[in-house]
Amino acid sequence: MPLPAVPPGTNAYDTVPDIRHDYLVRGKSPELVLGQKDSYGVLYWWEDLDGWWSTPPMDTPITALGNADRSVGGQRFPRKEKQITIHGVCHFNHPDDGFAARERLVRYWDSPNDPFDLVVEEPNPKRMTVRSSGPIEAPWDITQRSFAFQIPLVALDPFKYSLIRAVNATSPSQPGSYTRTYIRTYPMTYVAEAEGSGLISVVNAGNADTYPTMLVQGAVPPGWRIVNYTTDETLTVATRVNAGQTLQLDMKSHNASFSNATISVQAGGDWIRLVPGENIIKFVTPSEAPDALLTVISYDAYK
């Protein structure tokens, strides 16, 4: 990117204008943000985020084996990791500053073994967890007051997530049926007595499924369940949660933990996902649990 003309009266050693990109791009360190000048007066200007706005690629179809006799088959198309390449130009005040500017770029953006959140502050800011997928391309022989660079990144999870965390909570419902109407009709309806009884509405404003973290606070007797009526998914857990305990369920990794210590839970059914739009979640206990609480923590997801 060619720089604007140097304003009249500007010192020869301060030729980089104090300009800011429309969208800032943040990495693992606040010391070097792409799209604005850093504390050394060096401007790291991104020109293209190749792959950021593209839909995640599809993987090779996998044929399910089905039953033991392989009589049940099917295909699914999982998403592949997403490759992102940041193309940019670095501008600095004096040719002698180029080598140090290059070193800082590598220090703050090269992370082959240290995943970090790549944040793009577009009108609806989003983040992806990425790591380096190759060397940062920048010249060693820097004789001018600018150089081009490329930062190759890979996101194993190819979806983008909102920066805003949504938190919804509900106490459990009274023991009883799921309160869904039968014969099942579409759109699905629910009887009025279920309103406010263990039910919460969780909205995923994105365009891709997102997997929440759920916190279950005791005391909760074994046999409780979490239901997503929107997707018809039910997770039934035979693990007791005592008073004062909080069980954390990571619906994405299928992990459960008490006080950040991973445990093995006796669970059956489906790990709950949130589809785009409104999701009706219900917390059901086999007997009365007045002190129990379900908290759903989620982020909108985007392709």
List the CATH number of the domain containing 40: 2.40.30.200
Number of domains in the chain: 2
pLDDT 10s digits, 219-261: 899 899 999 999 999 999 988 899 889 999 999 988 888 877 7
Greatest mean pLDDT among 66-75, 153-162, 176-185 lies in: 153-162
The answer on 291 and 224 residing in a single domain is yes
The answer on 127 and 36 residing in a single domain is yes
Q: Give the DSSP letter of residue 174.
A: P
The three-class DSSP label of residue 14 is coil
The answer on 59 and 103 residing in a single domain is yes
Q: pLDDT class for 291, splitting at 50, 70, 90? A: confident
For residue 50, is pLDDT > 90? Answer: yes
- Side-chain-facing half-sphere of 193: CA atoms under 13 Å: 9
Range of the domain at 91: 25-160
The answer on 172 and 141 residing in a single domain is no
For residue 276, is pLDDT > 90? Answer: yes
The answer on 261 and 141 residing in a single domain is no
The three-class DSSP label of residue 145 is coil
The answer on 251 and 197 residing in a single domain is yes
Average the pLDDT over 129-133 and give the result.
95
For residue 183, is pLDDT > 80? Answer: no
Average the pLDDT over 146-172 and give the result.
94
The answer on 202 and 95 residing in a single domain is no
Quote the percentage of the chain above a pLDDT of 70. 82
| Cα-based distances in Å from 272 to 229, 254, 288, 296 | 10, 10, 23, 11
Domain assignment present for residue 7? The answer is: no
Give me the phi and psi of 33, to 5 degrees please.
-110, 130
Domain assignment present for residue 17? The answer is: no
Give CA–CA dist 32/49, Å, rounded.
17
- Letter for the amino acid at 24? L
| pLDDT score recorded for residue 244 | 87
The answer on 257 and 173 residing in a single domain is yes
Domain assignment present for residue 14? The answer is: no
Q: What is the pTM of this model?
A: 0.80
Domain assignment present for residue 188? The answer is: yes
Give 247's contacts (C-beta < 8 A, 6+ positions apart): 215, 216, 217, 218, 239, 241, 256, 257, 258, 265
Last residue of a domain, one of 160, 186, 220: 160
Last residue of a domain, one of 138, 160, 182: 160
The answer on 212 and 111 residing in a single domain is no
Query: Are 298 and 200 contacting, i.e. CB atoms less than 8 angstroms apart?
Result: no
Last residue of a domain, one of 129, 160, 191: 160
The answer on 153 and 172 residing in a single domain is no
- Which one, of 117, 125, 122, lies nearest residue 84 by Cα? 117
What is the helix (H) or strand (E) element at residue 193, kind and residue range?
A: none
> Across all residues in the chain, what is the average pLDDT?
83
Domain assignment present for residue 9? The answer is: no
pLDDT 10s digits, 55-96: 988 876 555 555 554 444 445 567 888 999 999 999 998 888
- Letter for the amino acid at 86? I
The answer on 197 and 152 residing in a single domain is no
| pLDDT score recorded for residue 189 | 47
Class of residue 209 by CB neighbours under 10 A (exposed 0-12, middle 13-18, buried 19+)? middle
Give me the phi and psi of 15, to 5 degrees please.
-95, -5
Average the pLDDT over 273-286 and give the result.
94
| pLDDT score recorded for residue 135 | 93
Domain assignment present for residue 8? The answer is: no
**What CATH number is attached to the domain comprising 281?**
2.60.120.860
Domain assignment present for residue 219? The answer is: yes
The answer on 220 and 154 residing in a single domain is no
Q: pLDDT class for 179, splitting at 50, 70, 90? A: very low
Q: Which one has a higher pLDDT value, 210 or 269? A: 210
Query: E-assigned strands of 218-258?
Result: 224-228, 233-237, 246-250, 255-258
Domain assignment present for residue 4? The answer is: no
